[in-house]
Amino acid sequence: MPYSAPRWLPGCHLQTIYAPLLANAGAVRYRRERWATPDGDFVDVDHLAGGDRAPLVVLFHGLEGGSRSHYALALMRCLERHGWRGAVAHFRGCSGEPNRLPRAYHSGDTAEIDWMLRRFHDQAGRAPVFAVGVSLGGNALLKWAGERGSDAHSMISAAAAVSAPLDLMAAGDELGRGFNRFYTSVFLATLKRKSIAKLRQYPGLYDRRALERVRTLREFDNLVTAPLHGFRDTDDYWSRASSKPWLSCIAVPTLLVNARNDPFLPAHALPLRSEVSATVECEFPEQGGHAGFVTGAFPGRLDWLPQRIISFFQQRL
């Protein structure tokens, strides 16, 4: 499918807030499968059926996302039209049921990405496997690809990352300013609710009163995410989990799509051409918001992004 530049519905906050309203939650039928993790927990995978030998596209969602996120539905509908298979790999605790262990998921969870992609590769047989990551999932996928280097070819044929917070320090600070605090409040509402529920499983895991006082992602990550996943504090977590330092190590063909008006990542934090490997194709449109990319006249469409991703993958078949 030839690619042509879209006509954007402008505005970073408009695209970010409005895009989910265009998704039809009943338009995709999934088959759910539960996988046991190597450490005794579980994750749920929602599968989209396709031809037995058709390519398989695996999606890693964003913070508190899942198979009903607008970008997941848009991608799966597009895959369905092409006759390809799809799968949404839920991070722990994101499929509607609490996971068993104290740990959850985080922006640099490459060990989780690795074992899931190995299993997808085994399930796909001889069919090509492609991986897509959006937002948090995009950062984790890029970091995994950089860490694996040329070995990533043994599991996937190509990757795509969308609206990834490549520099977590810059992204976290940006989300603590101005209108962006609205997004922070939305994330914190579910993160805090899940964390309080986790205390019923593991009393004393962290300070509940301190959790109730949390107002920023920096505070939440400092209290919950960092210590639960082996980081000293927020600064240690955001520094070590960022994918940007790993972009120059990626060997598998990779499409990197980030809008310059993404409210989650300032444009100055986007990588220069010299900071990414030759296998990484960067596309930084002026408009698109955070995982928005709404195009056309009102009310707009969400088809540009999935078509762009599939077009990139088709060239690697």
52 domain-assigned: yes
289 domain-assigned: yes
Q: Kindly give the residue spans of alpha helices, DSSP state H, lying in 83-167.
A: 110-124, 136-148
Do 62 and 16 sit in the same domain of this protein?
Answer: yes
CATH of the domain at 50: 3.40.50.1820
More confident residue, 145 or 18: 145
CA angle 11–14–19, rounded 5-degree value: 120
Which residue carries 């998704």 as its tokens? 23
Do 222 and 274 sit in the same domain of this protein?
Answer: no
Do 177 and 303 sit in the same domain of this protein?
Answer: no
206 domain-assigned: yes
Do 210 and 107 sit in the same domain of this protein?
Answer: no
What is the rounded distance in angstroms from the CA atom of residue 87 to the CA atom of residue 139?
18
pLDDT bin (cut points 50, 70, 90) of residue 294 is very high
Cβ contacts of 90 within 8 Å, gap of 6 or more: 43, 44, 45, 46, 61, 66, 67
Domain count, the chain: 2
256 domain-assigned: yes
The reported pLDDT for the residue numbered 5 is 64
More confident residue, 32 or 299: 32
DSSP run (H or E) holding 201: helix 181-201
184 token code pair:
């922070």
Q: Which of 241, 265, 285 is the last residue of a domain?
A: 241
Do 132 and 25 sit in the same domain of this protein?
Answer: yes
Asked if residue 1 has pLDDT above 60, the reply is no
7 domain-assigned: no
End-to-end CA distance of the chain: 13
Asked if residue 2 has pLDDT above 60, the reply is no
Choose the weakest-confidence range: 51-55, 67-71, 145-149, 157-161. 51-55
CA separation, residue 101 to residues 43, 93, 187 (Å): 11, 10, 21
| 137, 142, 148, 151 alpha-carbon torsion, rounded to 10° | 100
What is the rounded distance in angstroms from the CA atom of residue 287 to the CA atom of residue 12?
7
69 domain-assigned: yes
What is the rounded distance in angstroms from the CA atom of residue 272 to the CA atom of residue 274?
5
What is the rounded distance in angstroms from the CA atom of residue 150 to the CA atom of residue 192?
39
Domain of residue 118 covers 12-166+243-314
Do 110 and 33 sit in the same domain of this protein?
Answer: yes
Do 267 and 200 sit in the same domain of this protein?
Answer: no
Helix H, strand E, coil C: the string for 260-288 is CCCCCCCHHHCCCHHHCCCCEEEECCCCC
1 domain-assigned: no
* pLDDT averaged over every residue in the chain: 95
Do 100 and 218 sit in the same domain of this protein?
Answer: no
Do 63 and 85 sit in the same domain of this protein?
Answer: yes
Do 25 and 140 sit in the same domain of this protein?
Answer: yes
Report percent pLDDT > 90 for the chain.
Answer: 89
pLDDT digits (tens, 9 = 90+) for 194-231: 999 999 999 999 999 999 999 999 999 999 999 999 99
Do 85 and 159 sit in the same domain of this protein?
Answer: yes
What is the rounded distance in angstroms from the CA atom of residue 284 to the CA atom of residue 109?
25
Q: Which of 199, 215, 241 is the last residue of a domain?
A: 241
What is residue 33's three-state secondary structure?
A: strand
Mean pLDDT of 151-158: 98
Q: Which of 241, 260, 288 is the last residue of a domain?
A: 241
Q: What positions carry a catalytic annotation?
A: 135, 262, 290
216 domain-assigned: yes
Do 192 and 282 sit in the same domain of this protein?
Answer: no
Mean pLDDT of 225-251: 98
